[in-house]
Amino acid sequence: MPRCRAPVVIVCLLAAFPLVAGAQATTPERVLSLGEVLRLAARSHPSLEAIQADLQAAQEGQGIALAGFLPKLNLEASYTRTTANYAARPGQDQATDLSEPVRNSASTYDWFHFGAFLSQPIWDFGRTLGAWRGAREGVQAARQGVVLNRLDLATAVTRAYYQVLAAQQLLQVAEFVRQSADLHVKRSKGLYEAGARPRLDLVRAEAEAQAAEAGVRQARQNVELARSSLLTAAGVTDRFPFQAVVPEGEEFQQIPPLEEALQEAQAARPEWAQAEIAVRVAEARVTSALGQWFPVIGAGFSVTDAGTRLDRMAWNYGVGLGLTWPIFDGLANHHGHRAAKAALQAARARLRTLDLTLREQVEQARTRVMEARSRLVPLEAAATAAQEALRMAEERYRAGEGNAVEVTDARRGLLEVESYRARAFLDLGLAWADLRRALGRIPEELRPAASDHASGQEAP
């Protein structure tokens, strides 16, 4: 079995199998690296399309909020066929005798009316400005949502990829155990036929060989299930055989110090950016709610053209200023302002809570990486010793000095050690994926495009 030193133990773990010459394994049609799977996810996963559409919707929402600063122009045109009966009103026409009978007629006349109305908001004491600022921060939050989605997708794909690697390694272990058991059956049969060993040894060897065959079939099924889960995590609907390979250049040894890791997490994690944005959105809503107490000032201009015939129309125009001031609205503004201030307080508290959460995630991920990495070194030595123990047990059995129980125990010991080592390798891969997630590191294959970080619309 190849011997690997601690700094490169991950790279040579899967190279340790097959353990003897001639070990057979089914070679899939395609070798799929982690980078290739991440690129597949970048092209195929529907969540990326969904989150990009969410970003577009937020950008359009900012445009809607920006419209509150701009003038509004409305055009009107109407035609009415109407009667012309006059209805007097008290105090409106002093010359009219209200006691006289009303003269009604069913005759109708044409009435045409055309108009253009232009209005421009002047100032509303922060209502529109606060809404626009909130929408602008919403776009920033949506951009961070894109980053968060890609970070989560990269983590899910990476974890699933290491599940495939561990399943493949356990399959190699199972195939080696089956090969060893088959070889032991042949030796036991030869020794039994030569009268050197009892039939019990042959029966035991055949039972172990059958159990080893069942183990191989189970391990193959686990590999297929892990591969299916990986393709699903990458958003790939097609199923095809492939072989996962240990990623090269994984920096398992380069774990940043705790304080540096925390600073990196706060700078890169999209959740932290979203929490800060939520505070700014809450501040903008407080400003907007406060503006509800004050008047809305606007200007208007209108042009109309009306008459009973299109060739006999009378035009008019008007220019004016308007002020609307809600004096009392049933205390709705009062409660709305208090609700906005409470939401701001909650957003600030959530930011402090997230600081605790980030610290815990970084600390735990760093600890798991270091623990799994340290576990691999003694397990490698144990695997080498178990391999040697099996070789010696088989030699003693072939020489007539040992018994079948020794061989069985040695084989089981090797299987147990290799299973532990595969588990440690998987734990290290998963812990490393979690550490990168905690630090906010997105693989190059899944980093958002530069357009996702473009600035939003600016206020006039």
Average pLDDT over residues 193-217: 88
Q: Is 374 a residue whose pLDDT tops 90?
A: no
Rounded to an integer, what distance in angstroms lies between the CA atom of residue 68 and that of residue 298?
A: 12
- Segment 301-322, tens digit of pLDDT: 999 999 888 888 999 999 999 8
Supply φ then ψ for residue 130, to 5 degrees.
-65, -40
Q: What angle do CA 87, 91, 92 make, to 5 degrees?
A: 50
114-138 burial by CB neighbour count: b if 16+ within 10 A, else e?
Answer: bbeeeeebeebbbbbbbbbbbbbbb
* pLDDT at residue number 440: 92
Is residue 19 scored above 80 in pLDDT? no
Contact of 302 with 114, CB cutoff 8 Å: no
97 confidence band (pLDDT: 50, 70, 90): low
State the pLDDT confidence band at 208, using cuts at 50, 70 and 90. Answer: confident
Give the Cα separation of 157 and 161 in Å (integer).
6
Domain 6-70+130-293+332-453 is in which class?
mainly alpha
* Lowest-confidence segment of 151-165, 202-216, 247-261 by average pLDDT: 247-261
Run of H or E residues at 264: helix 258-268
Phi, psi of 91 (to 5 degrees): 80, -10
Predicted pLDDT at 180: 84
Q: Could you read off the pLDDT of 98-146 as tens digits, one per residue?
A: 566 777 888 899 999 999 999 999 988 888 888 898 899 999 999 999 9
pLDDT at 369 exceeding the cut of 80: yes
Instruction: Output the pLDDT for position 458.
Output: 52
The whole-number pLDDT of residue 24 equals: 42
pLDDT of residue 98: 56
